Amino acid sequence: MTARLITVAGPPSAGKTAVVRQILKNLIPEFKVAYLKIDVVQAWEDEELAEEFHIPTKKVYSGDMCPDHTGILVLQDAVEWANSVDADYLIYESAGLCLRCTPYTTHSFGLCVVPAVSGMHTPLKMAPMITFADAVIVTKIDLVSQAEKEVFREAIRQVSSETDIIETDALAGTNMRYLMKRIFELSETRNDADQLRGSPPLGVCTVCIGKKDVGWQNHFGVIRPLDAPDTLFRGE
């Protein structure tokens, strides 16, 4: 028995947890669900959901590390944990910060949550997160006019002409039946090695790995002297 993995991504305050609550309302009590939250400094969702739905939850603070990077490192363990508590589904909610990466893996069902009150250019700015998703959940539709909602949908369509778009007032659960239909149809997570769907950023940065010395002579990988016409690669 392998838990089906649902990855929930999206910018802060997009309504990710509200969407998760709706999913939980629809899955429980028929199914057993485990929940993992990865955030940077503070998060309470795991405690709230554990109390509200009586489900096993976990939280990981990524601290100095990129939260999506942390996700990649711990996800395998998380699936094993979900299996060990006999969960039918594991919901992994990411912090969703820089919008460069996508936390979706090939084996997971990837949800991108984006509020209808975002600017019209937001879908372009978070293009990877939208194009690699299985479904884009547009939240807070009760806060915008119908015309604006339709124009926002068109803005998403400019980034991805195919991805399923589900518009919802996640607090009320409007249109969540379309999301649940897909979640109920998910097949069991495969056992072979899972991989990220998107390409992670280039691993270029020795500063990011803690080398503080000034001067390209002290670094390796992709480097750049002041007068060089382009970047150079220097092996370790």
Question: Interface residues with another protein (CB under 8 A)?
Answer: 117, 119-121, 142-148, 150-155, 157, 165-167, 169, 172-178
The upper half-sphere exposure of residue 191, i.e. CA atoms within 13 Å in the direction of its Cβ, equals 3
Residues 6+ apart with CB under 8 A from 146: none
- Cα Dmax for the chain: 65
Shortest reach from residue 118's CB to another protein, in Å:
8
Shortest reach from residue 163's CB to another protein, in Å:
13
N- to C-terminal Cα distance for the chain?
A: 44
- The first and second tokens of residue 82, run together, are 């979900």
β 109-115/135-139 pair status: parallel
Q: Which is nearer to another protein, 39 or 167 (CB)?
A: 167
Closest CA to 9 of 72, 52, 88: 72
Shortest reach from residue 145's CB to another protein, in Å:
5
Q: Which is nearer to another protein, 35 or 152 (CB)?
A: 152
Q: Which is nearer to another protein, 55 or 176 (CB)?
A: 176
Q: Is 106 helix (H, G, I), strand (E, B) or coil?
A: coil
Q: Which is nearer to another protein, 87 or 130 (CB)?
A: 130
Shortest reach from residue 172's CB to another protein, in Å:
5
